[in-house]
A and B are shown apart, each in its own frame.
Chain A
């Protein structure tokens, strides 16, 4: 089982609903976030193009944060989800420095925090909170090993990319382009 997410940049409007829904679902304190929006505009008026992405932890197959964690707090859970165990985390910040996507942040409670792919929800057969709330339905989630999962189907149908592939992290967060 390999969980993955694909965000459709052609549909995402950058509304940030995925950000608030994640904050409320996961009780992320106000002022912090596990996902965020990036808008890239190219060209000169009126020849313009714009890409909007909802970004978060890439749940990399080759995760530098897991490799560099001195206590084992950062680890792979089922389906390749990269997790932090709060009470094993000493807050040293090595993982924050190692993540090429800037996906991790120091939680005010003293541990490092980041996207969990809402593992508590997917265990119950629910979608991640961000995917469930997105008004444009542009977040697809599922198991890459299951050819019929939502995410496998859409990745087969559409062109996609990952971020900073040259870092060799093998991300599990795709962007449909």
Chain B
């Protein structure tokens, strides 16, 4: 399977153009640029950017007032990601730049780790300190003992730095803590992932099925926009959620499922679709492998069977299966995005992939479109050294189906007692607040106490910076260039981010930080350009554009080479799976010792007096990253705990009352959280928005506001296939008095 893993690693959408090898060149020139008449005028009052408040990366314009101050950020009309409309977080992006609590200067720890005693340092000294520790780790343990945890644009610079140093231990928590199971499930089924932005053709769908996906509360901009278009066109929306989400409120069918039973529902839908012969016979015959085994497998999974598990009426299951069939192939059973729930998440999203295959939606209008992207040439660079060991040598034999690097495996390997194949001794943490990202905080802190080096690179004094040896202040996206955005979409396109203003304080762009550090390590030949704009201009010229042109347009969209947004009728398709077919039955999983077809396994249920902790998003925040943004805290400055009225009555709770939550392991939320009594949540669960309850005093607006779900997620249900940390197996009870703590004001 090594070959397959390598194959996937190359095709998987990930690092920016700069991190790609020269061998990845594509005939980009084949794309013709649309003719534009009339000369372009430079608008001096605005500069192009693409948003960094979330991963959707909408392209827009930063406008300044006459006094030179940033005034507003508005979407770029030419951009496919946003169609000229930013979401509230992007519109409020100025708050990230203007935040007076930002990291201002490099810091070096002087006190005990975690006690937050730092002294200010110059860049040279801070980088020298890091480089010397890195060299010591390399000398004592090997370069692989240094790990990078990364999120966002900075990944494009710290990834090559780490590779040049000799380590491929580069993990994005967005894999094992978020969308990994989904990406793997689709890769192993269709030979292709669903990318970001997802290739869901929502604007043309006739039926959109959301399983725990709360589009509209997650502001994944393009999807929200297209869901609205679909509503206009009369599409049927089916929402499966124990909570009456915003999307449920817009749905023709809401299935108030008992949490943790989704696989049973999916299997019974598959049963209905097969045994009523609703499936797309031609499609299945032509493209799919393993239909007979699947048919046999789901034989007994009737809606009546599922009723006893999911609490959903058989009639409702039948009707919704029929709706999907009627819409087929213009139907999307949405793969979701944050899918690390119960530890069998790869199998659940496999069931979703299988359902889509049966409905013939993959590669079809109103289902999943065929994405294209531009691969920019990267300038010639020395080869990276081949590391002696990778993350798979940390705990050999684990997570055989993983196609990404498992961050929690690297954290576990930082704890000597876990007897890893080799130790992880240093972390560089870029743009990800591991304390509030990784479940089981005690484990993360234990790992940190065993490190020889912890560097945190961020714009804000997020919790992780408090544990670092060296803190490096990165400037915000409004103050820097970054790699060109080339993400996949319906049409190939590029977008430019350029600084709208000079960096505040002594903060620096990620590119500069990585390059300066490379010099201290003798690796500067991997960063031959002093300024990032030189690379951008060079790359743009290779595809017939230039930095000057992009400064005027912000976005450049090309035409597709061919009319192939969907498969042609009867097209021969070679899927990038082992068999070249859509694998309903996964022989590969079987070979790895996993179930070749998804099974339903019951999950633990909350004990008496406890409720399942469910968390999600609010449209005005991105994780905890925006929690201190003045514009966005103005919209929502704390989370609430949603409690069903029946439960509120039992506990004698009132709306707006502050309570604490205590989980099954006796961990109590550090801060109190406001009660919201609402019919919108099931009686066996409570719900809160993720990203609040910050314990970092330096973030003044969000310190102590609301509760942190991560703190209460001490138990991770780890997916044996790929290491994803399921986070919905935690139960909380209600604590109304906690004398020693006060409500933070």
Contacts and interface: CB of A to CB of B under 8 A. Distances in A.
Interface in A119-162: 132-138
Interface stretch (A40-48, A66-74, A101-109): A40-48
Contacts of B679: 41, 43-45, 48
B161 interface: no
B634 A31 contact: yes
A133 B75 contact: yes
**Shortest 5 CB-CB contacts between residues of A and residues of B:** A13-B216, A15-B619, A50-B249, A136-B228, A46-B256
7 contacts: A17-B219, A20-B92, A24-B631, A41-B678, A50-B244, A50-B680, A135-B87
A24 B679 CA distance: 35
Given A20-B620, A45-B244, 12 more contacts: A14-B216, A15-B224, A20-B632, A33-B634, A43-B679, A45-B679, A45-B683, A48-B679, A50-B246, A135-B219, A135-B225, A136-B228
Contact of A15 (B71, B72, B87, B678): B87
Contacts of B228: 11, 13, 135-138
A20 B91 contact: yes
Contacts of A136: 216, 224-225, 227-228
Interface of B: 71-75, 84-88, 91-92, 94, 216-217, 219, 221, 224-225, 227-229, 231-232, 244, 246, 248-250, 254, 256, 619-620, 630-632, 634-635, 644, 678-683
A16 B619 contact: yes
Which one of B87, B632, B635 has the greatest number of beta carbons of chain A within 10 Å? Answer: B635
Contacts of B634: 23, 30-31, 33
Given A14-B619, A16-B619, A30-B630, A52 B87 contact: no
A52 B228 CA distance: 14
Interface in A27-74: 27, 30-31, 33, 41, 43-46, 48-50, 52
Given A20-B88, A24-B91, A44-B679, A49 B630 contact: no
A45 B91 contact: no
A95 to B, nearest CB: 24
A24 B92 contact: yes
A135 B92 contact: no
B85 A134 contact: yes
Which one of B71, B86, B91, B221 has the greatest number of beta carbons of chain A within 10 Å? Answer: B91
Given A43-B679, A133-B75, A17 B217 contact: no
A81 interface: no
A93 to B, nearest CB: 23
Contact of A30 (B91, B619, B620, B631): B631
B617 to A, nearest CB: 11
Nearest to B646: A45
A92 B225 CA distance: 42
A133 B91 contact: yes
A53 B119 CA distance: 50
A21 interface: yes
A50 B216 CA distance: 14
B88 A17 contact: yes
A56 B225 CA distance: 22
A25 interface: yes
Which one of A17, A33, A50, A132 has the greatest number of beta carbons of chain B within 10 Å? Answer: A17
A2 interface: no
A15 B92 contact: no
Given A133-B85, A135-B85, A46 B224 contact: no
Contacts of A133: 74-75, 85-86, 91
A108 to B, nearest CB: 14
A15 B620 contact: yes
A41 B243 CA distance: 13
